[in-house]
Amino acid sequence: MSTNLKLIKNTDQAVTFDGAQVTIESLVIQNDDLNQYMEGKPDPVVAFTDLIESALYMRRISNSSAEAEKLGAVAESLSTAFENASKEATEEFGDLIKLHTDEKNPAALAGVLKNKLMKAIVDELKPTNEDSPFHEISETLAQLLSEVTKQAGAKPAIDNSSTKGKNFNITMDGILQELAAANGDSALYTNDVASETGSKEGDEVVTISTDITGGAEVNVVWEFKAEKNLSQAAILKEISRAMQNRHAAAGVFVVDREPKNAHWATHSFHSGNRLILVVDKDAPDLNLIQFGYIWSRWMAFRTLETKSNVIDIERVDHLVKEAVVSLKDFSQIKTAHTGIQKSLTDAITWAGNVEAALKGKLKEITSAMTVKE
């Protein structure tokens, strides 16, 4: 804003400064507004001083406004930066929580704790462990568990008539516990334990040793049934549900031999790493069950995206294929042996009958040739 103010200096030192003191001498100012303001003032010096104070005050206000505007801009910038940083930190923290609470993720803290702690607890408390507090009462504990299972109705794997010997589930659990211990795995009896979905499908879960899986959790689920009239279609559906429920990469269904499945092979392979074993529940074929354990363990291991460097995959593949052939030959020999044994039994019976008939005839002949007095 222009005031048309014109300074006319009579000397070179019209305005001088000494510390906080300003001296104005011989200074002529030409301005109509200033002239009108000064006219009629009783004390022109006081009036001029007031005018200068007003000008200085307005200058301070102007400077303060500029500084306030700058501070406002800085505050707004800081507020925006803090809001963005807070949002990013919250999102990252949320993602971190989501990651480490996912039990299915092997890299998650929850998954690691579940895998390590569960295995450590099971191994420590296992009755077969000499350091376990249950070791001394392991036999009594097994009998008690069997009795409780029968009385509590914990999904028993018994036939539709009477139970012979031990409960089938208890028998199979004992076998799998020994096989797991021999292979460095952990076996957990989950017969009546619900998963996070609430389902109890899956009688036993074998977790392969993390020493060969590279730390990843790899599970195999087993189902045991001594029920009658089960079809293969129903069995395959049930083992598939159990695999999904127990997060297993392979599944084995062990069924008791009965008239419905009398013509089934002792073992049959099915898509999706599923295996059906047919056994006598009162005297299970340990070789067959061990084969099922090794085969399912290997199939589950093969699902890992990152293969272990400590396992010769080609060699194990070859050995498993040879085991399949040997098991088939063994089954055929057992079948033939059963036929031979039956034929031998029939021959012995027939020989006995013929011998009895021969003795009878000889007795008759002797009697006929005897002279009666």
pLDDT recorded at residue 138 = 59
pLDDT recorded at residue 211 = 85
Q: Are 197 and 214 in contact (CB under 8 A)?
A: no
Matching residue, tokens 């292979």: 183
Q: Are 267 and 292 in contact (CB under 8 A)?
A: yes
pLDDT recorded at residue 191 = 85
Q: Where are the beta strands (DSSP E) in the chain?
A: 6-9, 15-18, 21-24, 27-30, 186-189, 204-207, 219-225, 250-256, 267-270, 274-279
Q: Are 98 and 91 in contact (CB under 8 A)?
A: no
- Say how many residues make up the chain: 373
Question: In whole angstroms, what is the distance from residue 1 CA to residue 202 CA?
Answer: 90
Backbone angles phi, psi at 6, to 5 degrees: -125, 125
DSSP string, 96-133: HHHHHT-TT-TTSHHHHHHHHHHHHHHHHH-TTSTTST
Question: In whole angstroms, what is the distance from residue 332 CA to residue 294 CA?
Answer: 21
Q: Are 103 and 110 in contact (CB under 8 A)?
A: yes
Question: In whole angstroms, what is the distance from residue 210 CA to residue 115 CA?
Answer: 9
Backbone angles phi, psi at 155, to 5 degrees: 45, 60
Per-residue pLDDT of the chain (373 residues; tens, 9 = 90+): 445 555 555 556 666 767 777 677 766 777 777 777 777 778 877 777 777 777 776 766 666 666 666 666 766 777 777 677 777 777 777 777 777 677 666 666 766 666 666 666 666 666 666 676 656 665 665 555 555 444 444 444 444 433 344 588 999 999 999 999 988 999 999 988 888 888 999 999 999 988 888 888 999 999 999 888 999 999 999 999 999 999 999 999 999 999 889 889 888 999 989 999 999 998 898 888 988 998 898 889 888 876 656 666 677 777 767 766 665 655 555 554 455 566 667 667 766 776 666 656 566 555 555 545 5
Task: Classify 306 as helix, strand or coil.
Answer: coil
Q: Are 165 and 171 in contact (CB under 8 A)?
A: yes
Quickly list H helices, 268-312.
Answer: 286-301
pLDDT recorded at residue 155 = 46
pLDDT recorded at residue 149 = 46
Question: In whole angstroms, what is the distance from residue 106 CA to residue 93 CA?
Answer: 19
